[in-house]
Amino acid sequence: MKLTRRLALAVTLAAPLAAAPAMAQTQITVQHALPANSHTGVGATTFGQTFERLTNGRYRVVAQRNDNEREMIESVQIGTIDCTFTSTGPVGNFVPEVRVFDVPFLFRDAAHARGVLDSEIGQQVLQRFQARGLVGVIWIENGFRNLTNSRREVNTPADMRGLKIRTMENQVHMRAFTQLGALPTPMAFSELIPALQQGTVDGQENPISVIVANNINQVQRFMTLTRHVYSPQVMICNPQTVARLNAADRALFQQAAQEAQRANRARVTADDESGVAELRRRGMTVITEVDTSAFQQALAPAFAEWERTLGADLLRRIRDWRPN
């Protein structure tokens, strides 16, 4: 389903708040978890600037930072903020169908991941947000996640044994790290840096763009390019916020979201291309040669479990996807 149709559906579901012409300087509040000069911040800023421009200033988009992604989703759900740009890590607690994209080593590369999310597969998952009092607007991204820690180089699955690793509040991620012999410790992103400083956890996993933007190199010595999970982000909005947009403004809203997606993905690509050299310059030891097959073999019992719980047919469709 195209975004315009999803937004139209949101209007139907929120019928008591029938669409009305926008008033001058209507404010839309968008929150995200990363610095303004990050791939997420660039996406949110691009959305705001584009929507303001396309509506000739009738809308004002206010971007705010909030390190607690679960809190942001809950705030969108109850309507205290309008939209969020969030990683999918905590989204699975609201929309369980999203968890399928968190399976390790599911995507070959960024083109594969982006293609699946923009295809019918990804759009069908976005439709599931409606039943949870949310509007899934468009897929953006964090990129492929990599492991960092303060204790030792990680070259094989055996090197992970006993490491306390902060994860998102995500059952799929936690199951994977447990299977690899690590000790997953779920916590909000806002708690990560203090936890690393205090030794509450030994390491964490995030895309290069997140590691660079948040200076995680200051509290971590080693990084391994495991690329173990592709990490989507998603723009989520409150249904009543969408319902207040008239048809013309919903089309402009869609256009602005698509511009945000392009800017976000371009920034992730740029960060991936320059990030290893930058982190080495900052003093990190970066292991780039990883035996991916060894990690996949170590995860075999977990893969079998995900086939049962998340759907073997859907996982196969995702793995086999090719562009038309």
Please state the rounded mean pLDDT for residues 23-40. 90
Q: Is residue 162 within 8 Å of 186, Cβ to Cβ?
A: no
Among candidate residues 45, 38, 19, 33, the one with its CA nearest the CA of residue 75: 33
Per-residue model confidence (pLDDT) at position 290: 94
Helix or strand run (H / E) with residue 213: helix 208-213
CA–centroid distance for 249 within its chain: 26
The C-alpha angle with vertex 61 and arms to 57 and 62, in degrees rounded to 5, equals 135
Residue ranges covered by each domain of the chain: 3-320
pLDDT digits (tens, 9 = 90+) for 248-298: 999 999 999 999 999 999 999 999 999 999 999 999 999 999 999 999 999
Q: Distance (Å, rounded) from C-alpha 49 to C-alpha 256?
A: 8
The C-alpha angle with vertex 94 and arms to 93 and 95, in degrees rounded to 5, equals 100
Burial annotation 265-293 (CB, 10 A radius, 16+ → b, else e): bebbeebbeebbeebeeeebebbeebeee
| 300-309 CB contacts, 8 Å cutoff, 24+ apart | 301/179, 302/104, 302/175, 302/176, 302/179, 303/103, 305/175, 306/103, 306/172, 306/175
Q: Tell whether the model's pLDDT for residue 308 goes beyond 60.
A: yes
Q: Tell whether the model's pLDDT for residue 15 goes beyond 60.
A: no
CATH superfamily, domain at 3-320: Bacterial extracellular solute-binding protein, family 7 (3.40.190.170)
Query: pLDDT class for 20, splitting at 50, 70, 90?
Result: very low
Which residues 6+ apart lie within 8 Å of 47 measured at CB?
Answer: 30, 61, 85, 235, 256, 257, 259, 260
Q: Tell whether the model's pLDDT for residue 312 goes beyond 70.
A: yes
Which amino acid is it at 157? P
Give the least confident one: 13-17, 153-157, 309-313.
13-17
